[in-house]
Amino acid sequence: MVATLRKLKSSKDLSLFIDDLLTEEEILDLAQRIKIARLIIDGKTYDEIAVKVSTSISTVSKIGQIIKYGKGGLKKVLEKKA
């Protein structure tokens, strides 16, 4: 999968690839997870995030566990400055 993603040369190519590969619901789910992760990294409480993103504390907690115990990829990408 990584080798395939590396072949994409632009943001537009990546966007087209994602649009072809995932359903609209899957894309929205991924976007929500990224938003939750960013808010956790920014120091928001799980309660604040659940209200802001209109999701359950359980969902926020799952993303929090990924940030805390995962391999670090999500945190590394989100902490990078644009």
Q: What pLDDT, in 10s, does the model give residues 15-46? A: 999 999 999 999 999 999 999 999 999 999 99
Contact (Cβ atoms closer than 8 angstroms) between residue 48 and residue 42: no
pLDDT of residue 80: 76
Residue 38 lies in a domain: no
**One-letter amino acid of 25:** E
Residue 36 lies in a domain: no
Residue 7 lies in a domain: no
Residue 74 lies in a domain: yes
Query: What is the total count of domains within the chain?
Result: 1
Supply the range of the domain harboring residue 80. Answer: 45-82
Q: What pTM value is reported for the model?
A: 0.85
Residue 27 lies in a domain: no
Handedness of CA 57, 71, 77, 44 (dihedral sign): positive
Residue 17 lies in a domain: no
Residue 28 lies in a domain: no
Residue 39 lies in a domain: no
